[in-house]
């Protein structure tokens, strides 16, 4: 199968490409290499005969059409996006352009591409999104595929808008689309603006570790490898028109997560004082959602997927990876 990946130089995209190449597929990686894109993430495939890299912005309509014409893909897995909530609060225009206009451009490119194919040509447009589109939960309940959208940040609003476009192009133009909404990812090679690598980075640099508000906000964490395994199941067996929620049922508050990482660092890289001494509460983020939690029963039932990596094991391995790869922690 020939598969276009957008945003393949990023954290999740590079992990997905690694899996697809191992499975014997041909991958065409489209990435504009913004600050969070890193070709070092793809060292393991860069010279593979089935891997092709094209530096391009997904908003470049002409270039995207050229890529479809040249490579004649069987699927596109759309991960390219601006993703950091803090950045969306300061510069929402970038998120509107990439996450909404970029997705629209890809949908139209696929519509153009498929208009020249016969009806028997098999294709999938898999749109990778976030649980943040659903808004904020109270202390009980979980998001499922029927949960109404209620985004609260410019980032989540832009992703919600892109989800709506994908669903509309399925309903209106019969485009063969699938949407996925996943919980918070963690693992090696994540850009250090995200919570877990920020904590690790600032801890080992003996800097203050900032925790928004009182640290009571709860997130549901999934290892990136479990996420891309789910995406592969969806590529192979997912049903057109469906939405699949992906989560690992690892709910933990931000302060408890920070303390857990500090405890593991105390074991792995001990120093005179515990890393917990560096924790500091700071002014809360604007519009900070209280809790996210994903119900993944649909993908477990329909596609026989389940997460394999236990949170404590994955977190410990992630910490050890960053300690061996300091260059990934230069941002913070």
Residues with active-site annotation:
131-132, 155
- Cβ contacts of residue 267 below 8 Å, gap of 6+? none
Q: Quickly tell me which residue has 């977190």 as its tokens.
A: 315
Torsion sign, CA atoms 249, 215, 129, 156: positive
C-alpha–C-alpha distance, residues 23 and 190, integer Å: 23
Query: Do 79 and 58 form a contact (C-beta atoms < 8 A)?
Result: no
CA neighbor of 126 nearest in space, from 194, 177, 165: 177
CA neighbor of 10 nearest in space, from 242, 234, 193, 268: 193
- Which structure tokens are listed for 122? 């098999």
DSSP state of 143: B
C-alpha–C-alpha distance, residues 62 and 114, integer Å: 16
State whether residue 266 is helix, strand or coil. helix
State whether residue 30 is helix, strand or coil. strand
Query: Do 122 and 73 form a contact (C-beta atoms < 8 A)?
Result: no
Whole-angstrom CA distances from 215 to 55, 86, 96, 190, 262 are 39, 16, 29, 21, 15
């Amino acid at each position: 199968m020939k598969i276009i990946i957008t945003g393949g130089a990023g954290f999740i995209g590079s992990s997905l490409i690694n899996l697809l190449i191992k499975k014997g597929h041909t991958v065409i990686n489209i990435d504009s290499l913004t600050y969070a894109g890193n070709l070092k993430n793809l060292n393991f495939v860069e010279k593979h005969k089935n891997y092709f890299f094209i530096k391009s912005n997904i908003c470049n309509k002409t270039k995207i059409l050229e890529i479809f014409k040249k490579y004649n893909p069987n699927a596109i897995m759309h991960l390219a996006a601006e993703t950091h909530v803090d950045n969306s609060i300061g510069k929402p225009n970038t998120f509107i352009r990439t996450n909404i206009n970029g997705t629209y451009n890809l949908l139209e490119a696929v519509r153009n591409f498929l208009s020249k194919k016969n009806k028997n040509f098999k294709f999938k447009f898999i749109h990778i999104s976030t649980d943040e589109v659903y808004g904020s939960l109270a202390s009980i309940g979980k998001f499922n595929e029927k949960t109404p959208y209620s985004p609260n940040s410019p980032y989540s609003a832009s992703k919600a808008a892109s989800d709506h476009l994908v669903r509309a192009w399925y309903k209106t133009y019969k485009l063969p689309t699938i949407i996925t909404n996943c919980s918070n990812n963690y693992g090696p090679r994540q850009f250090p603006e995200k919570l877990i690598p920020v904590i690790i980075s600032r801890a080992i640099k003996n800097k203050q570790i900032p925790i928004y508000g009182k640290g009571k906000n709860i997130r549901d964490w999934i290892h990136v490898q479990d996420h891309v395994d789910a995406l592969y199941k969806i590529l192979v067996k997912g049903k057109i028109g469906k939405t699949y929620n992906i989560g690992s049922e690892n709910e933990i508050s931000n302060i408890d997560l920070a303390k857990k990482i500090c405890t593991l660092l105390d074991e792995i890289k001990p120093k005179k004082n515990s890393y917990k001494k560096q924790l500091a509460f700071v002014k809360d983020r604007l519009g900070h959602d209280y809790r996210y939690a994903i119900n993944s029963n649909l993908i477990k039932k329909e596609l026989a997927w389940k997460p394999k990596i236990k949170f404590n094991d994955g977190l410990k391995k992630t910490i050890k990876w960053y300690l061996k790869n300091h260059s990934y922690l230069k941002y913070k």
